[in-house]
Amino acid sequence: MIKVLTIDREYGSGAVEIAQKLAERLGWKLWDQLLTSEVARRLECDSHQIEQREERRDPLHYRIFKAFLRGSHEGSQVSPQMKMADAENIRRVSEQVVRQAAGEGNCVIVGRGSAYYLRDQADSFHVFIYAPFEEKIRRLQQSGKTAEEATELVQNVDRDRADFIRQNFGIEFPCRHYFHLMVNSTMGEQAAVQTVLDALSAVQA
């Protein structure tokens, strides 16, 4: 019995909206912004800090500062009490939250490495949502981004996600063997949702 649905995605593919509709149709809990909020709560920091750094490596200057802090006398004195919202801690706490959510079941989890953390969990089903480059740009422009902003986001966010997956799992993003289903969102959100639901029904028949 499938109790966990993970949705990984290309940026701008409309996966967030598809995940929301899937959670509504299934009557399951959606772990997207909720996951970010829970990670922020556990790290005792603002959700905005988590949003800026989850699914990506730390900026170079931040990594240098962290290395300096950990190697200094002052850093060694304060670091045990300090919850740093860096990529390493965010990844660690995100895995804890993902595994806890999956343990509770009846949930849709968006990204954050969930498909890779839960790859051996028999009651999970993993979906990857993608779209052609031009379609992703169009979607982002509809949300208010300029063509330049949309292009930069599509290129940079997925590059950061690829770095995150490569660094933490040693595989290339997206690794197709980790997904039960890959869906091109140009078919439309409703069709994409129905495709995923049909696939879920088929594997549980």
- Output the pLDDT for position 142: 93
Tell me what pLDDT residue 46 has.
67
CATH superfamily placement of domain 4-204: P-loop containing nucleotide triphosphate hydrolases (3.40.50.300)
Residue 133 has pLDDT above 50, yes or no: yes
Confidence of residue 139 (pLDDT cuts 50, 70, 90): very high
Helix axes 189-204, 15-26, angle to 10 degrees: 50
When pLDDT is averaged across residues 198-203 and rounded to a whole number, the result is 95
Q: Could you tell me which residues come within 8 angstroms of residue 154 by beta carbon, excluding any fewer than 6 positions away?
A: 10, 11, 12, 133, 136, 137, 140
Is residue 64 very low, low, confident or very high in pLDDT (cuts 50, 70, 90)? very low
Is the per-residue pLDDT at 65 higher than 50?
no
Beta-bridge mates of residue 181? 127
pTM above 0.85, yes or no: no
How far apart (Å, rounded) are the C-alpha atoms in residues 134 and 12?
A: 10
Nearest alpha carbon to residue 98 among 24, 179, 32, 16: 32
Half-sphere exposure for 205 (CA within 13 Å, toward CB): 7
Query: What's the token pair of residue 105?
Result: 């079941």
- Cis before 132? omega within 30: no
**Domain coordinates in residue numbering, the chain:** 4-204
Query: Residue 128: is its pLDDT beyond 60?
Result: yes
Q: Is the pLDDT of residue 8 over 60?
A: yes
Residue 36 CA to residue 51 CA, distance in Å, equals 7
Q: What's the whole-number mean pLDDT along residues 9-28? A: 96
pLDDT tops 80 at residue 84: no
